[in-house]
Amino acid sequence: MLFYQESDRVQAIEPILTMKYDLGDGQILSGGVVVDSISGATPFGAVPSSSPQTFLRPISTVTNGLSTGSSTTQTMTSASGNSTVITVPAPPGSPVATTVVSSTTVGANKFPLDQGFSDTPVAGNLGFTQPITDRLKLALGATYSDEHDFRAISGNVLLMQDFNSHNTTLSAGVNYESDRSSPIGGVPTPLTVMNAEIKGAARSRDEVNALFGVTQVMNRRWLTALNYSFGKSTGYETDPYKIISVVDSITGVPINQLYENRPGSRQTNSIYWENKVHLTADVVDIRVRYFWDDWNVRSITLEGKYRVQFDGWYLEPQARWYKQDGANFFHFFLTATDPTPEFASADTRLANFDATTVGLKLGLKLDRLSELNLRVGYYWQQGNNHPAGAVGQLQQQDLFPDLQAVSVIVGYSFAF
Amino acid sequence: MKSNSRRWWPSVTKRRCDWGLAVRVLGATLSLLTVLATTGCATTHPKLNLGAKPWQHDLMAQTAMQLEAYPIEAGMDDHIYLSKEASSGGRGFAGGGCGCN
C-alpha cells in the first residue's frame, strides 16, 4: 500500500496486490492488481500574474430541447467547488448546446494550479516464465491500465540465457505499449488559445522498447548488472491539459494561454548499472542511470541503499539524486511579439531541475515465510525559480516552485 | 530585409548539468567496486576474478541480493518518478501506462 502526498498538490492512495505461483519445473506464473486513488491540484503550465487569472476547461456538452436564441449562465457548485454551467447561444430552432465548464480563478501572484483533478486508475498485470533449457528462460508479460481519460495496454517478451555455470546471464527483450488519451473536454488543437469549447476526438500513441542486459556474479559477494534500453514512440505525445502563457514582452502580464504542443515522436536511450554487494551481513546496492533522448532531455540518476541486517529485522537507509537537462521545446512562457514556435511546453517536468530523495525502510521477518516492511520517503524537486529571461512582473514571480512529496509504503509478503 | 536576430523564446538561462561531477561520481563508484571485486573470494576464473563456484551461491540466493528483491516497491518508485520526471526505464522496460498528472 502506497500513501503519497505532495505539499499543496496531488495526493494518492495506491493498494497493490501481487501473487506469484511456482508451477514447478521452473515455470512461474505471476499477476497483480493496482487500484489508484489520486486527487488534488496539478499545475496548468501557466505563469503567475500580478492580477487574478481565470482558466476555463470544457467538461461535457448536453443537448436538450430547442434553442430560443438566448443564452443563460448558471453557476453550479461541483465536487471541486468551482464549476459553472454555460449555455452556449444557438440559432433559434436548433438544439440547445449546454456546455459544462470548469472554471478556476487563481489569485494574484499565485502559481496556477488546477484544483479539480481526481482520477481512479485501475491496472493489472500478468507474467509467465518458462524454461526452454537448463540455461535458457523465456518470460512473457502483459499489462493493462485504465482511467477515465487514459488507457494503456502493453505486452513484452524477454529471453534470458545463462553462461559460465550460471554466473553470467545475457538478456534481451522487447515491449510494445499502446496508449489512448481521451481527455475530459476532448483533445485540443495544439497552440490554439485556451477556451471553454468542446475539443476533438481521442488520440493514440504507440511505443516499442528494447532491452539488452548482462548480469554477472563477480564473486561470492558481488552481483553486477548492466542494461541498455532503447525506446521509440510515435503518436500523441502532448499533454492535453497543459497550457503555456503568452505574455506581454515588456510587462510580463499574460495575454492569453495556448495549448501546448510536443513533437509526434520520441526516441529514448538509457544505460543502467546496478551493483549489489554483500558485506559481512549487510547489503549495499548502488545504481547509476544515464538517460538521453531526441528531445534533448539528458539525465543522470544515482541511487544507493544500505541494508543493515539485524537478527530477524533490517533497517535500510536509501538516497537518490537525479539531475535533468530539459527538453529543447520547454519554455516558461512565450512572448507576444515573437512568432509562435512549432513545439512548446511549459510543463516543468520537461525543464532543468534537480531532485533528491531520502528514505528509510524497516523490515521485519515475521517468520520463515513472511515479511512486513515500512518505508518512508521524502522527495524534493528544485528548478530555476527565477529564470534570467523573465520580463516585467515575471521577475518577481516564482516560476518553478519547489515540489516536495512524502511517500509511505507498507508492505506485507508471505509464501504458502 | 534585415533578418530578425531576436529569438522567439525568452532568453531563459538554462542550468546545464554538472557532468564533470557526474563523471567523477561514476568513476569513484567504479573504483570502489573494482577494489571490492579484486579483494573478493575464490572464483571460477581466477585470472579474470569473475564468478563464484556453485557452492558459493549461498549469498546470491538471499532475498536481499536479488535484483528484483522488492518488485512492488520498485514499481511504486517507477510510478512516482515517471509522473514527476522526463526519464523512465533503465532497470526494466520504460513507460508503463500512466496519464501522469
Domain boundaries, chain A: 2-414
Helix, strand, coil percentages, rounded to 5, for chain B: 40, 0, 60
Give pLDDT tens digits for A278-301: 998 999 999 999 999 999 999 999
Closest-approach residue (CA) in chain A for B99: A150
Of A312-316, B24-28, B39-43, minimum mean pLDDT range: B39-43
Question: Which CATH fold would you assign to the domain A2-414?
Answer: Porin (2.40.160)
Contact criterion met (CB < 8 Å) for A325 and B22: no
B87 vs A contacts (CB less than 8 Å): 268, 270, 289, 291, 297, 299, 301, 322, 324
Report the domain count for chain B: 1
* pLDDT score, position A102: 84
B62 vs A contacts (CB less than 8 Å): 278, 283
Across B64-95, b (16+ Cβ under 10 Å) vs e yields bbebebbbbbebbbbbbbbbbbbbbbbbbbbb
Residue B9 included in any domain = no
Mean pLDDT taken over chain A: 91
**Coil, helix or strand at residue A413:** strand
For residues B43 and B50, what is the distance between their CA atoms, to the nearest angstrom? 6
Of A88-92, A165-169, A357-361, B44-48, minimum mean pLDDT range: B44-48
Select from A150, A175, A215, A222 the residue whose CB has the most chain B CBs within 10 Å, as the one to mutate to test that interface. A222
Note the residue count of chain B.
Answer: 101
**Residue A254's pLDDT band (boundaries 50, 70, 90)?**
very high
Has residue A98 got a pLDDT over 80?
Answer: no
A231 vs B contacts (CB less than 8 Å): 89, 94-95
Residue B41 included in any domain = yes
Q: Which set of grid coordinates corresponds to residue A55?
A: 482558466
- Tell me the torsion sign for CA atoms B27, B30, B36, B41: negative
B61 touches chain A (CB under 8 A): no
Q: Closest Cα of chain A to B3: distance in Å? A: 13
B89 touches chain A (CB under 8 A): yes
* pLDDT score, position A188: 96
Q: Closest Cα of chain A to B50: distance in Å? A: 5
Q: Is A191 exposed, middle or buried (0-12, 13-18, 19+ CB in 10 A)?
A: middle
* pLDDT score, position A59: 85
- What is the rounded average pLDDT of the residues B49-71? 89
Give pLDDT tens digits for A347-388: 999 999 999 999 999 999 998 889 999 999 999 999 999 999
B80 vs A contacts (CB less than 8 Å): 4, 379, 405, 407
Residue B11 included in any domain = no
- What is the rounded average pLDDT of the residues A179-199? 94
Contact criterion met (CB < 8 Å) for A152 and B98: yes
B38 vs A contacts (CB less than 8 Å): none
Contact criterion met (CB < 8 Å) for A219 and B51: yes
Percent of all residues in chain A with a pLDDT value above 90, rounded to a whole number: 81
Pairing of strands A27-35, A37-43: unpaired
Most confident of A30-44, A110-124, A327-341, B58-72: A327-341
Has residue A248 got a pLDDT over 70?
Answer: yes
Has residue A74 got a pLDDT over 60?
Answer: no
Residue B49 included in any domain = yes
Closest-approach residue (CA) in chain B for A17: B72
Cβ–Cβ < 8 Å for A191, A261: yes
**Residue A7's pLDDT band (boundaries 50, 70, 90)?**
confident
* pLDDT score, position A64: 61
Has residue B7 got a pLDDT over 50?
Answer: no
* pLDDT score, position B17: 46
Select from B19, B77, B78, B100 the residue whose CB has the most chain A CBs within 10 Å, as the one to mutate to test that interface. B77
**Residue A307's pLDDT band (boundaries 50, 70, 90)?**
very high
Residues 6+ apart with CB under 8 A from A228: A211, A212, A213, A269, A270, A271, A272
* pLDDT score, position B22: 55
For residues B86 and B92, what is the distance between their CA atoms, to the nearest angstrom? 16
Mean pLDDT taken over chain B: 68
Residues 6+ apart with CB under 8 A from A168: A162, A214, A215, A216, A217, B51
Closest-approach residue (CA) in chain B for A215: B67
Closest-approach residue (CA) in chain B for A9: B101
Q: Closest Cα of chain B to A69: distance in Å? A: 39
Q: Which set of grid coordinates corresponds to residue B25?
A: 561520481
* pLDDT score, position A206: 97
- Tell me the torsion sign for CA atoms A59, A65, A69, A75: negative
**Coil, helix or strand at residue A212:** strand
Of B70, B92, B77, B66, residue with least CA distance to A156: B92
| Residue-number span of the structural domain to which B35 is assigned | 19-84
* pLDDT score, position A89: 55
Q: How far is CA A258 from CA A121, A316, A340, A344, in A?
A: 28, 46, 10, 9
B45 vs A contacts (CB less than 8 Å): 164
A154 vs B contacts (CB less than 8 Å): 93, 95-97
- What is the rounded average pLDDT of the residues A307-335? 97
Percent of all residues in chain A with a pLDDT value above 70, rounded to a whole number: 91
Of A168, A269, A134, residue with least CA distance to A211: A269
Give pLDDT tens digits for A107-134: 999 999 988 678 888 999 999 999 999 9
* pLDDT score, position A342: 97
Nearest to A209 among B10, B14, B94 (CB): B94
B92 touches chain A (CB under 8 A): yes
Residue B71 included in any domain = yes
